Amino acid sequence: MKRIYLFMFLAVWMFAACSSTSDTVKTDASVMDAPVETQAAAPPETSASASSSEVFHHPGAGFSMTKPMGWKYLSPEMVKTASESMNWNDAELEKAIKENPNAPLVVLTRYQEPYPTLNPSVAVTMVNLPVEGMPPKDILNMSTEVLKRAYPDLTYVDAVQDANVDGINGAYTKIKYTMAAGNQKFPTLTRMWLVPRGKIMFTVGMSGPQDGPDVSEEAFKEILKSIKIEQK
């Protein structure tokens, strides 16, 4: 049976692949090369102190985000393994995703891998805007509709709507769907933000189970509030 715990972040990576053009967005540092500073710019409200968290900073992308205490970074090798192992319901969608050159800037998981069930996760990507000037809500609407080809039971918990991340106007939605691995099924809840900046956009996805102690809403709120995007 395939290990489902590696696949949590893939919905947002799929979203980035569905939203991007054939051009590649390049940054001047990989996920592993990006420095991780040991002190947060401002302590999250529910954290004990700034020193108990870390700030991920990608200078090439002009992006930073605070990792909550105890959360883990998912290595590029594990990201690659997960993407190569996943089976999709749609051949064209699978091809687009596997050919997508934009690896995530960073992937966080709540627990150390391997984890026996759904591991709450955060994934951030940076891709070209598919159509410059298109409203973020329109892009997010189109992208989530494409995801229904991979997850036929996908439904909206929060409709696609305007949102603001670090002072930048973008779009947000919350969706639920069922991930399958072997004979097991995992009800999944994903929150997605699209944040345009010039000719590119950041996608932020936060996924976890639909109920139980690992829903992680408070941690996700902290992470979202910590995001800083440099105006370039």
Check pLDDT > 90 for residue 3.
Answer: no
User: In sequence order, what are the beta bridge partners of 37?
Assistant: 55
145-201 tens-digit pLDDT:
878 877 889 999 999 999 999 999 999 999 999 887 667 788 999 999 999 999 889
203: Cβ contacts below 8 Å, ≥ 6 apart: 12, 15, 16, 19, 124, 125, 126, 127, 192, 193, 194, 195
- 168: tokens are 């930048």
**C-beta separation of 173 from 147 below 8 A:** no
- 21: tokens are 């053009």
Q: Tell me the pTM.
A: 0.77
User: In sequence order, what are the beta bridge partners of 103?
Assistant: none
**CATH fold of the domain at 4-229:** Protein Transport Mog1p; Chain A (3.40.1000)
**C-beta separation of 71 from 62 below 8 A:** no
**C-beta separation of 17 from 142 below 8 A:** no
50-61 tens-digit pLDDT:
334 699 999 999
How many other C-beta atoms are found inside a 10 Å radius of the C-beta of residue 61?
A: 23
What is the domain partition of the chain in residue ranges? 4-229
